[in-house]
Amino acid sequence: MSAEPSRPTPSTAPRFGVWLIGARGSVATTAIAGCAAVAGGLHPPTGMITETPDFASCGLPPLSSLVFGGHDTVDCPLPKRAEHLAAGGVLPHGLPSAVHAELVAADREIRPGGPLPGDTDGGPDRTDDAWIDAFAADIRDFVRRQDLAGAVVVNVASTEPAPADGSLPPSSLYAAAALRAGCAYVNFTPSTGLHHPALTALAASAGVPYAGRDGKTGQTLLRSVLGPMFAQRALAVRAWSGTNLLGGGDGAALADPAAAAAKNAGKERVLADTLGAAPEGEVHIDDVPALGDWKTAWDHIAFDGFLGARMVLQTTWQGCDSALAAPLVLDLARLAARAQQRGLTGPLAELGFYFKDPVGDGPASLGEQYAELKRFAGRLRDGSGDTGDPGDTGDTGVGADGGTGGGAAGSEAYGTAPGDRAAEDRGPGDGAPGDRAADGPRHGAGDSEGRR
């Protein structure tokens, strides 16, 4: 890049890890490159809510203090992936070379993920608990070698179908590993993650904060604004239908009907929560490989006005999934890291602004969710509502077992489905979603799932 500004002096703040599931995908690569670009003064932090005045003085870790690593099942190096994204117009021309060192450093910290369908690399008798232990060991090793004050695990991998047989899908193995390693956890995908009954006990006892699920960046972001508008204006919505056209790995993953069904569940929840009931209509997702990382989302809303006058609102959203999602991934990593540093544990319902299907109880309209998010910023700033001593951040350091602290999760099994769930604001969600087929696309195959 020509006429590059001089890079700021490296921060002396404690460093925090961001461990990405699907670390070589489009969203992860954009987040890593974007973090380096913003921290280096090469680009402004457009789209990053945590860089706005409302979040000043919250004690969030500086972007320059974030260290990246993760799991993935593909071996395309991050610099090569970044070049591909730049060729497609996702990253600015010249950025991959400007942040090459940061991409190489992150790529060195990516470990093999899994299991893939039919995977026997770990032996035919490798158990879920063995996978979880291996993943947790990778995370602990990352924290220890990099001398980090803590780490946040963020799932940005391809959407997987919901399990049909009660088994733990890969996203749940990664989620359990995060908690076992004592790390905060964020699920930016609609995949099961912590929303599995076998992980309820672990989520309640791990002593770490978690958030999710399914990042709200495009079509559903707009729905969370328009839904309350119709309700507050007393206009009766009769039907709400939509179509998504997208390509790349996202489109390929969502071409599987079971994965698409998992994706659409969050979209439907937003309308049901904001309108009081789900209107007629469905969302159709079409894979158009020629679109690459770009997406077009169209909504057709039929509603009744005064004296039964029938009217229609149509919206078209065209955007780049990775560029929409990446700044929010960085926001969530910083917020979750600060929450754990402050001693907060359990579901972070205040982060519902970021998700289609948020954990805990909270409002559904975007405006109310943003108000909650600002209150959460104040909580991080002054420590109100902490479960621990605000001045004590010792439990975010590396423990004797190599974990990052935050409870007994590091020494216990992932748990079994409890007979009687705790109160909803203590659990990770509403249980295992649906009964769709478990066979689906490779998980963590590089491309983060489509964001709407």
What local confidence, expressed as pLDDT, does residue 398 receive?
A: 35
For residue 269, what are the CA distances in angstroms to 3, 273, 301, 317?
A: 48, 6, 16, 20
Round to whole Å and give the CA distance between 217 and 222: 8
Round to whole Å and give the CA distance between 413 and 103: 34
Beta-ladder partners of 312: 302
Q: Which of 48-52, 310-314, 428-432 has the lowest mean pLDDT?
A: 428-432
Among residues 253, 254, 249, 324, the alpha carbon closest in space to that of 291 is found at 249
Give me the mean pLDDT over the 313-338 stretch: 96
What local confidence, expressed as pLDDT, does residue 266 receive?
A: 63
For residue 29, what are the CA distances in angstroms to 5, 47, 52, 326?
A: 22, 16, 23, 9
Q: What is the pLDDT of residues 177-201, one digit of tens each?
A: 999 999 999 999 999 999 999 999 9
What local confidence, expressed as pLDDT, does residue 116 receive?
A: 81
Residue 112: pLDDT band (50, 70, 90) is very high
Q: Which of 15-29, 161-175, 423-437 has the lowest mean pLDDT?
A: 423-437
Residue whose pair of structure tokens reads 């000043």 in the numeric block? 56
Sheet holding 184-187, edge to edge: 110-112, 66-72, 16-21, 150-155, 184-187, 209-212, 346-347
Give me the mean pLDDT over the 1-8 stretch: 44
Q: Token pair for residue 78?
A: 């991050």
Residue 406 has pLDDT above 70, yes or no: no
Residue 275: pLDDT band (50, 70, 90) is very high
Asked if residues 425 and 347 have their Cβ atoms less than 8 Å apart, the reply is: yes
Give me the mean pLDDT over the 307-327 stretch: 96
What local confidence, expressed as pLDDT, does residue 165 receive?
A: 87
Q: Burial-class residue 434 by CB neighbours within 10 Å (0-12, 13-18, 19+).
A: middle
What local confidence, expressed as pLDDT, does residue 106 receive?
A: 98
What local confidence, expressed as pLDDT, does residue 383 receive?
A: 64
Four-point Cα dihedral 207, 262, 169, 292, nearest 10: -100
The DSSP-derived string for 175-195 is HHHHHHTT-EEEE-SSS-TT-
Q: Burial-class residue 438 by CB neighbours within 10 Å (0-12, 13-18, 19+).
A: middle
Give me the mean pLDDT over the 226-253 stretch: 88
Q: What is the pLDDT of residues 349-381, one digit of tens each?
A: 999 999 999 998 899 899 999 999 999 999 999
Give me the mean pLDDT over the 77-98 stretch: 97
Prediction pTM value:
0.81
Q: What is the pLDDT of residues 276-292, one digit of tens each?
A: 898 999 988 888 988 88
Residue 70 has pLDDT above 90, yes or no: yes
What local confidence, expressed as pLDDT, does residue 344 receive?
A: 97
Round to whole Å and give the CA distance between 270 and 264: 10
DSSP conformation class of 121: T
Residue 95 has pLDDT above 70, yes or no: yes
First to last CA, the chain: 31
Other Cβ atoms closer than 10 A to 408: 12
Q: Which are the contacts of 104, defined by CB distance < 8 A and separation ≥ 6?
A: 77, 78, 79
Please state whether the peptide bond connecting residue 108 to the residue before it is cis, i.e. omega within 30 degrees of 0.
Answer: no
Four-point Cα dihedral 34, 40, 41, 45, nearest 10: 30
Other Cβ atoms closer than 10 A to 368: 16
What local confidence, expressed as pLDDT, does residue 424 receive?
A: 36
Residue 24 has pLDDT above 80, yes or no: yes
Average pLDDT, the chain: 83
Residue whose pair of structure tokens reads 């590059």 in the numeric block? 4
Give me the mean pLDDT over the 79-102 stretch: 97
Round to whole Å and give the CA distance between 433 and 189: 13
Q: Which are the contacts of 411, defined by CB distance < 8 A and separation ≥ 6?
A: 401
What local confidence, expressed as pLDDT, does residue 162 receive?
A: 87
